[in-house]
């Protein structure tokens, strides 16, 4: 279990992580999701004792990271900025790490296999592609057979096969009962990998929810209805959670809070003709963008139309 209690980080006047409270449970993949600059890496660095929180605290397995005597066996980490000796081979890099914790050579060989690096184990790391470097970082994270994993943007640089590999790996690690926290700025990827989501924007907690609850909420789009009897249908559909917008002078209704099936059945039961019944579901990516819109640090602005005043 990983827990954050009012975790806060300030750099000068800027608060980059603010009062984050969340729990990452064993047996699940939890996605730490947010746009670029939201504070995901800073949060992970604080969980791993690499940045000192300005306020608040965090625990892994019930204790602060710094108090673990053999951290590699408690928590495996993959951070964005890695320092790997470029002249070392993948095998020697992992062996050097293994020596610090008394981990046997057989485990090094095992994680090289898990990461799909057997054929390049003897190659110097400086010749590695970004994707191979990511795989090596993941092999290092798994080296101590840890109960918890913290991975910062692990799919960065991976090809489609690599993305699928990491997705299956994370799910199988969680199925073994491990605690898995993985960051991403891609909602679509997290929707396929994670069970639970902790969404942050500008360092603040925006959502702490299951992926299925997020998906259901995202699916709560509107339904367009065209009928010559708008008033009658509107009266029949009226309800406490139902919002209906009519366009004056037209046959169009926009209905929120119920689905097309209910609208169609209600209309049929009262012999109300429908010309159109179109559900609009928000995509997960759109729901994520809507949630984080206010908190995007680096927005790409559309170019000014030509002739606009300077």
Q: Which residues in this chain contact ligand ATP in the complex, by CB under 6 A?
A: 11, 16, 34, 36-42, 185, 297
Least distance from C-beta 255 to ligand ATP, angstroms? 37
Distance of closest approach, residue 218 Cβ to ligand ATP, in angstroms: 21
Distance between CA 151 and CA 138 in Å, rounded? 8
Which C-beta is closer to ligand ATP: that of 38 or that of 125? 38
Residue pair 264/166 in contact (Cβ under 8 Å)? The answer is no
Q: Are 183 and 38 in contact (CB under 8 A)?
A: no
87-114: b (≥16 Cβ within 10 Å) or e: eebbbbbbbebbeeeebeeebbeebbeb
If DSSP codes are grouped into helix, strand and coil, which group holds residue 281? coil
Instruction: CB nearer to ligand ATP: give 37 or 157.
Output: 37
The nearest distance, CB 162 to ligand ATP, in angstroms, is: 19
The torsion defined by the Cα of 233, 238, 242 and 248, in degrees rounded to 10, comes to 50
Comparison of 40 and 196: residue with beta carbon closer to ligand ATP: 40
Residue 39 C-beta: closest distance to ligand ATP, Å = 4
Q: How far is the CB of 56 from ligand ATP (least distance, A)?
A: 15
Question: What is the CA 108 to chain-centroid distance, rounded?
Answer: 29
Q: Which is nearer to ligand ATP, 153 or 173 (CB)?
A: 153
Q: Minimum distance between the CB of residue 189 and ligand ATP, rounded to whole angstroms?
A: 13
Tell me whether residue 17 or residue 255 sits nearer to ligand ATP (CB atom).
Answer: 17
Distance CA 124, CA 92 (A): 9
State which residue, 147 or 163, has the beta carbon closest to ligand ATP. 163
Please identify, using beta-carbon distances, which residue of 157 and 221 lies nearer to ligand ATP. Answer: 157
Q: Please state, in angstroms and as integers, the Cα–Cα distance from residue 305 to each residue in 298, 299, 301, 308, following that order.
A: 21, 18, 12, 6
Tokens of 212: 């299925």
Do 233 and 225 touch, CB atoms closer than 8 A?
Answer: yes
Question: Cα angle at 309 between 306 and 310, to 5 degrees?
Answer: 100
Minimum distance, C-beta of residue 201 to ligand ATP, in the bound complex (Å): 9
């Amino acid at each position: 279990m990983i827990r954050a209690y009012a975790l806060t980080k300030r750099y000068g006047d800027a608060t980059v992580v603010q009062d984050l409270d969340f729990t990452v449970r064993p047996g699940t993949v939890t996605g730490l999701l947010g746009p670029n600059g939201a504070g995901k890496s800073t949060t992970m660095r604080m969980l791993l004792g690499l940045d000192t929180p300005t306020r608040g605290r965090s625990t892994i397995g019930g204790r602060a990271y710094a108090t673990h005597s053999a951290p590699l066996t408690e928590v495996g980490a993959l951070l964005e900025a890695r320092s790997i000796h470029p002249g070392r081979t993948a095998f020697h890099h992992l062996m050097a790490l293994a020596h610090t914790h008394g981990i046997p050579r057989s485990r090094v060989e095992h994680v090289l296999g898990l990461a799909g690096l057997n054929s390049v184990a003897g190659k110097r790391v400086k010749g590695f592609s970004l994707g191979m470097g990511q795989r090596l970082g993941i092999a290092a994270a798994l080296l101590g057979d840890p109960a918890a994993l913290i991975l910062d943007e692990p799919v960065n640089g991976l090809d489609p096969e690599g993305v699928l590999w990491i997705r299956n790996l994370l799910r199988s690690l969680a199925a073994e009962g491990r605690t898995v926290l993985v960051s991403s700025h891609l909602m679509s990827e997290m929707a396929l990998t994670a069970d639970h989501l902790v969404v942050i924007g500008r360092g603040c907690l925006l959502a702490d929810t299951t992926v299925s609850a997020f998906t259901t909420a995202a699916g709560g789009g509107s339904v367009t209805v065209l009928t010559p009897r708008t008033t009658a249908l509107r009266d029949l559909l009226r309800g406490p959670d139902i919002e209906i917008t009519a366009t004056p002078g037209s046959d169009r209704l926009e209905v929120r809070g119920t689905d097309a099936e209910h609208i169609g059945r209600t209309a049929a039961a009262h012999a109300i003709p429908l010309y159109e019944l179109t559900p609009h579901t928000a995509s997960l990516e759109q729901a994520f963008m809507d949630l984080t819109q206010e908190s995007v640090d680096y927005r790409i602005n559309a170019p000014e139309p030509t002739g606009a005043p300077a």
